[in-house]
Amino acid sequence: MLSFRGGIARLFWCAFAVLSVFAADAPKQITPDPKVVEVARRTGYAPVVPFPAEETVDPAARPPSWLEVRPFPVVDGKPIVSRGLFRSQALGLDVGYNIFLPPGYDADPSKRFPVVYWLHGRNNNEYTNISQAVFAHDAILSRQLEPLIIVFANGLGQAFYLDSPDGRYPAETLVIKELIPHIDGKYRTIPTRSGRHIAGMSMGGFGCLRLAFKYPDLFSSVVSYAGIFPPDGVVANEPNVIKMTRGDKASFVAESPQGLLDKNADQIRDRLAIRIICGSQDRFVSSAREFNQQLARLKIDHDYEELSPFGHDIVGMFQRAGVEGLQFAIGAGVRARKQAVEYEINTNVPVGVQKVIEPAYPEEAKQARVEGKIFLELLVAEDGSVKDVRTVSGHPKLAQPTAEVFRRWKFDKPKIDGKPGEITITVEVRFRLGE
């Protein structure tokens, strides 16, 4: 049974939602009520960090994001996402986050899990995109995905995961210096770079790239969906965006993924697994293509994919490529944590193989509009035959024919500590579009 205070709070949110619908036709703008903000902060039913009182929200566009509360996804009658709070010293407030713990998390108290930090888009909050947990849950149960933790962060509305000059929106500090240590301290994460990953959509796609590029020692992979890139005037020239970030366009661009990529290219190259996904009809696709070219010019390995016929649509893109993105992310950590095993091999491809096939499956590659890598794990039997092939990450249209090729490989009889035995070999194949 709900407490009296909880019941009143729920009734309040329902009433507010109804009023918001009727207010949608009104041309005027609304200002958050400080009393409403306080109720939201104390009950935990809404994000505890609102826009400041002087910031206005257009009700015709959407309900105020700091009041938007979505039900947690449920599987077999139980929610698979839970809410948490941490005390932010930078804000002097308790800040909310949502977290997905994988099936079996409680079964082995000694087991640790990789963690993906998910950054939401502009004017959203930590409730946005939590339905992704259902995809992850199902993929883990079907053994398509290694068990992992997903943390849905609060990015302070539209702060672009920067620290604002006036200190009122310390979004970067919130994630890097406060949320990550809190999560590592409270949950059984792999609290190292190899076990830590970051991803996001739209503004979060911008944010995850800039944080990964600024802190390459913290993350082993980054996956950006429909990222907003500042050279596109839609974003970089908006006065309120400039105000909310670094105060001017030049500073904003310097702290963007492009600016940080130029600055930290040597620290990023061969160290960070990078995947860029954008809808072919997205209004930001031209700047995504320019960013892809910038990565190529700097000779930084990355995956770039355009999904057709999607626009700026995280739901559609995640249904198409969300599990692949998670596979890619934690696959980088698996490779980073994997210890080399001594064995003999009768090809010229060494352990931790980086075999380049160019062009490889050009027709499939052209149809998929994908450049990137396939990572496979080959289980080699004692007699040297490939007993099994598992795709760690990669585009399905390319992964299947690639796996069939490696099933025909033959190795010398593998040895472990001088004795025959089964071994697992990690294989990387790089694809480039045929001319």
Nearest to 347 by CA among 394, 409, 400: 409
Under DSSP, the state recorded for 194 is G
H/E stretch holding 277: strand 273-279
Q: Tell me, what's the pLDDT at 396?
A: 60
Own/partner contacts of 400-407, CB < 8 Å, gap of 24 or more, are 401/361, 401/364, 402/360, 402/361, 402/374, 402/376, 402/429, 403/376, 406/376, 406/378
Rg of the chain taking only CA atoms, in angstroms: 23
**Angle in degrees, CA 407, 411, 415, rounded to 5:** 125
* Token reading at 267: 């620290």
Q: Which residues make beta-bridge pairs with 390?
A: 377
* Ranges of each domain in the chain: 1-66, 70-337, 353-431
For 87, the 3-state DSSP assignment is strand
Q: Model's pTM, two decimal places? A: 0.65
* Highest mean pLDDT (candidates 4-8, 72-76, 104-108, 314-318): 104-108
Which residue has better confidence, 404 or 255?
A: 255
H/E stretch holding 274: strand 273-279
- 187-206 pLDDT, tens per residue? 999 998 888 999 999 989 99
Whether 332 shows a pLDDT value over 90: the answer reads: no
Q: How far apart are CA 67 and CA 106, in angstroms?
A: 32
Nearest to 304 by CA among 317, 295, 312, 314: 295
Taking a C-beta distance cutoff of 8 angstroms, is the pair 364, 398 a contact? Answer: yes
* Highest mean pLDDT (candidates 99-103, 418-422, 429-433): 99-103
- 207-220 pLDDT, tens per residue? 999 999 999 999 99
Rounded mean pLDDT of 43-52?
35
Taking a C-beta distance cutoff of 8 angstroms, is the pair 7, 13 a contact? Answer: no
- 223-244 pLDDT, tens per residue? 999 887 765 555 555 666 666 6
Whether 166 shows a pLDDT value over 50: the answer reads: yes
> Which stretch of 62-71, 93-102, 134-143, 147-156 has the lowest confidence by average pLDDT?
62-71
Instruction: Grade residue 339 by pLDDT with cuts at 50, 70 and 90.
Output: very low
Q: How far apart are CA 49 and CA 95, in angstroms?
A: 7
Burial of 142 (0-12, 13-18, 19+ CB in 10 A): exposed
Q: Domain 353-431: give its CATH superfamily.
A: TonB (3.30.2420.10)
Which residue has better confidence, 285 or 14?
A: 285
> Which stretch of 234-238, 276-280, 412-416 has the lowest confidence by average pLDDT?
234-238
Which residue has better confidence, 21 or 116?
A: 116
What does pLDDT average to over the chain? 72
Rounded mean pLDDT of 15-19?
34
Q: How far apart are CA 162 and CA 208, in angstroms?
A: 11
Burial of 375 (0-12, 13-18, 19+ CB in 10 A): buried
> Which stretch of 164-168, 225-229, 338-342, 409-413 has the lowest confidence by average pLDDT?
338-342
Q: Domain 70-337: give its CATH superfamily.
A: Alpha/Beta hydrolase fold, catalytic domain (3.40.50.1820)
Q: What are phi and psi of 197, to 5 degrees?
A: -140, 160
* Highest mean pLDDT (candidates 94-103, 157-166, 303-312): 94-103
Whether 28 shows a pLDDT value over 90: the answer reads: no
Task: State the SS3 of 127-177.
Answer: CCCCCHHHHHHHHHHCCCCCCCEEEECCCCECCCCCECCCCCCEHHHHHHH
Nearest to 227 by CA among 129, 121, 298: 121
Nearest to 405 by CA among 378, 432, 368: 378
**Angle in degrees, CA 98, 279, 24, rounded to 5:** 60
The residue with tokens 């990387």 is 428
Q: How far apart are CA 153 and CA 60, in angstroms?
A: 26
Taking a C-beta distance cutoff of 8 angstroms, is the pair 95, 85 a contact? Answer: yes
Beta strands in 346-416 (DSSP E): 353-356, 370-380, 386-393, 415-416
